[in-house]
Amino acid sequence: MKNNEKGLDNFPALHLENQLCFSLYSLSRRVTQGYTPLLKPLDLTYPQYLVLLVLWQAVENKQNKLSVSQLTKNLKLDTGTVTPLLKRMESKNLLSRTRSTKDERIVMIALTEKGLLLREKAKLIPQALLCQSSADQQEIFALRDQLQKVLTLLA
Amino acid sequence: MKNNEKGLDNFPALHLENQLCFSLYSLSRRVTQGYTPLLKPLDLTYPQYLVLLVLWQAVENKQNKLSVSQLTKNLKLDTGTVTPLLKRMESKNLLSRTRSTKDERIVMIALTEKGLLLREKAKLIPQALLCQSSADQQEIFALRDQLQKVLTLLA
DNA sequence: CCTTATTATATTGTGCACAAGTTAATTTTA
DNA sequence: TAAAATTAACTTGTGCACAATATAATAAGG
């Protein structure tokens, strides 16, 4: 009887621990889980936090409104994800959605006072995560740069 | 008027591109998107493919059954994710779910013939992805090892 | 103009992901 | 050995993620 009739062949390329994809997938979820307890007091989910990061950064550049498409581009998510996400955030009074008068296809997103003020609490989060990670800052930055490099290659 | 009344403070730690978390999150989704066109001909989603990877590897170790909890441990997912995932795969006739007689709390998962044979098609996938990635194998392995290292630190 | 194409957002349907709570079987312990 | 604790899997509810499609407004071409 041949080996493969018993399913005893070796397919090392198919082993879970050999796959970059699985490491990425696991670590990404693990990191999100690390954020959860810090975001819960702010009543935010992780994707909602990412939306606020983009809007807060826009404010620093004196842009107090972003279109939905600018947001989806920044977040690298599609409208099927972002539209309901923004609606949930609107219902929590974190931002407003207003249709542009110049071009009525466009919906502009602006932070509310509540959404802007949340930044004061959120600014403590990155440092808190670094502390609990026991990985030093150099390593985190190196990994981030390597990930961005691969992401660019795939884009 | 003070600077922060206009929201013009700088919060570089809150900038999207400075956050490891966002790079991980984006790249992980991007890699899954790379798998999708290759998995579609096999009628598999990415998490379903991961389940099969675990089961195929078990077969190589002459284990033709794994408990649900062994699967969740390998995949680092919780039962609320895995139970419905396995039911969908059972309904596609990729695997069987049988309650253990020794301990009736335990449900054992085994590949069907169809699930086992799918490995022959799936074994082409890792190489296909490497080819389209334009990143060389050394770099992929280095990144994978770095991710696993961080994952261990956080575990 | 008026049609055709494009763009911006929204909707629908499926499949994860996970917190929280449930149920039932087994193990531990008093 | 009966009560308490633990374990394994399931269920429920919310929130993404994305493919595919729809709708409506604007732009482009004839």
Q: Please state the pTM of the whole predicted model.
A: 0.91
Over residues A98-140, the pLDDT tens digits come to 999 999 999 999 999 999 999 999 999 988 887 777 667 787 8
pLDDT-based confidence at B80, cuts 50/70/90?
A: very high
pLDDT-based confidence at A2, cuts 50/70/90?
A: very low
**What does the DSSP 8-state code read for residue A93?**
T
pLDDT of residue A149: 84
What 3-state DSSP class applies to A111?
strand
Query: Which positions in chain A touch B119 (Cβ < 8 Å)?
Result: 11, 14
Q: DSSP assignment of B48-110, as one string?
A: HHHHHHHHHHHHHTT---EEHHHHHHHHT--HHHHHHHHHHHHHTTSEEEEE-SSSTT-EEEE
Task: Please say if the pLDDT value at position A155 is more than 90.
Answer: no
Over residues A14-49, the pLDDT tens digits come to 888 778 899 999 999 999 999 999 999 999 999 999
pLDDT of residue B49: 97
pLDDT-above-90 percentage for chain A: 67
- Judged by a CB distance cut-off of 8 A, whether residue A121 touches chain B is no
Give the B window 8-47 contacts with A, CB below 8 Å. 8-11, 13-32, 34-35, 46
Query: Which positions in chain A touch B27 (Cβ < 8 Å)?
Result: 24, 28, 147, 150-151, 154
B138 or A93, which is more confident: A93
Mean pLDDT of A79-96: 98
Task: Please say if the pLDDT value at position A145 is more than 60.
Answer: yes
Over residues B142-152, the pLDDT tens digits come to 888 888 888 88
Tokens of B95: 């695997």
Where b means 16+ CB within 10 Å and e means fewer, B116-130 reads bebbeebeebbeebe
* Cα gap A152→A18, rounded to integer Å: 22
pLDDT of residue B8: 59
Mean pLDDT of B32-54: 97
Which positions on strand C lie below 7 Å from a protein C-beta?
A: 7-13, 15-21, 24-27
pLDDT of residue A135: 64
Nucleotide nearest to A75 (CA to C1'): D17
Question: Between helices A125-133 and A20-39, what is the axis angle to 10°?
Answer: 120
Task: Please say if the pLDDT value at position A85 is more than 80.
Answer: yes
Q: Which of B18, B27, B78, B153 to mutate to test the interface with A (most CBs of A within 10 A)?
A: B27
Neighbours of A141 (CB within 10 A): 12
B9, B3 contact by CB (below 8 A) = yes
What 3-state DSSP class applies to B6?
coil
Closest-CA residue to A140 (of B105, B87, B149, B104):
B149
Query: Which positions in chain A touch B17 (Cβ < 8 Å)?
Result: 148
Please state, rounded to an integer, the average pLDDT across all residues of chain B. Answer: 90
